[in-house]
Amino acid sequence: MTSQPPSPPPQPEQPAEAVPTCYRHPDKETWVRCQRCDRPICPDCMRDAAVGFQCPECVAEGNRGLPQAKSVFGGGVVRTPFVTYAILVINVLVFGAQYLTGDEVTLQLAMWPNGVAMLDEYYRLISAAFVHGSVFHILFNCWALYVVGPYLERAFGHVRYVALYLVSALGGSVLGLWLDPLNQPTVGASGAIFGLFGAVFVVGRRLNMDVRGIAALIAINLVITFVVSGISWTGHIGGLITGSLLGGALAYAPKSNRTLWQMLTIAAALVVLAVLVVVRTSAIIGAA
């Protein structure tokens, strides 16, 4: 009988190497790591870097100190003029509501000096710019907005552009408040559109572009304004003056502290128009 050497004790199994998963998407396996923070990232999270890939957070951190691109006159770069498209949609929706309710929406939103002065319905000064009197009326204004709106929105950025549009509309309504008969309601975005026309002319001059086309368009529409009956010349002229002045102030603002100057200009325009509204409504109430 021979003795056998004792068997060696069983060795513990070596655990398989764990497969790393993306730190943002734990269900996705990956062997790629961010070159900056060394966290695993999946293809959806990979951002090209000078060497290898980086994660979205590291890319954002690296870009934080870089200067942001600006539009021609200081606003953020506009790739899609969604403010123009939003205004177009609002105009169409309001016109649809006018069609469905008869005169109800028109009477509630139209610019009416008596309503502003006697009933303190100051919203009419802006709401009237989204109401139209006929299919031709809304088609022309929407076409004009579609043509010139994106150009100005890209030149000024979203915020400055919407300020230009609304302040121009307000300027047209304020002139109507002063000069239109008290019992005459007016509607339409024409004041804002003429303001954009004036701003396009001023911006074109500022950039040394050929402005004869927009000058001819303004002249033709002014002739139509005074020749064709039923058109609110006050809205057109008020919007044209306001848009031209405000557009010029925004375009010619000094590059040093440009944003500050532009915001002060917009605020000053609103103050002037508000004072004109207060003075005129006080006069109407006093004469009643």
Walk along the chain (288 residues) and give the pLDDT tens digit of each residue. 455 555 555 555 555 557 788 898 988 888 888 888 889 999 888 888 766 788 888 888 776 755 556 677 887 888 899 999 999 999 999 999 999 998 899 999 999 898 898 888 999 999 999 999 899 999 999 999 999 999 999 999 999 999 999 999 999 999 999 999 888 889 999 999 999 999 999 999 999 999 999 999 999 999 999 998 888 899 999 999 999 999 999 999 998 899 999 999 999 999 999 999 999 999 999 887
Handedness of CA 277, 279, 280, 286 (dihedral sign): positive
What integer pLDDT is reported at residue 30 of this predicted model? 86
Using alpha carbons, select from 148, 154, 231, 127 the residue that is nearest to residue 195: 148
What gap in Å lies between CA 176 and CA 113, rounded to an integer?
8
> Any idea which fold 82-281 has?
Rhomboid-like fold (1.20.1540)
What does pTM read for this prediction? 0.77
Q: Domains of the chain: which residue ranges?
A: 20-59, 82-281
Out of 132, 137, 158, 236, the active site residue is 236
Which tokens hold the place of 249?
């102030």
Q: Is 190 a catalytic residue?
A: yes
DSSP E strands, 21-157: 47-48, 53-54
Out of 127, 168, 190, 244, the active site residue is 190
Helix (H, G, I), strand (E, B) or coil at 238: helix
What gap in Å lies between CA 48 and CA 26, rounded to an integer?
21
What integer pLDDT is reported at residue 273 of this predicted model? 97
What gap in Å lies between CA 265 and CA 73, rounded to an integer?
14
- Say if residues 101 and 149 touch (Cβ distance below 8 Å): no
What gap in Å lies between CA 224 and CA 218, rounded to an integer?
10
What integer pLDDT is reported at residue 32 of this predicted model? 87
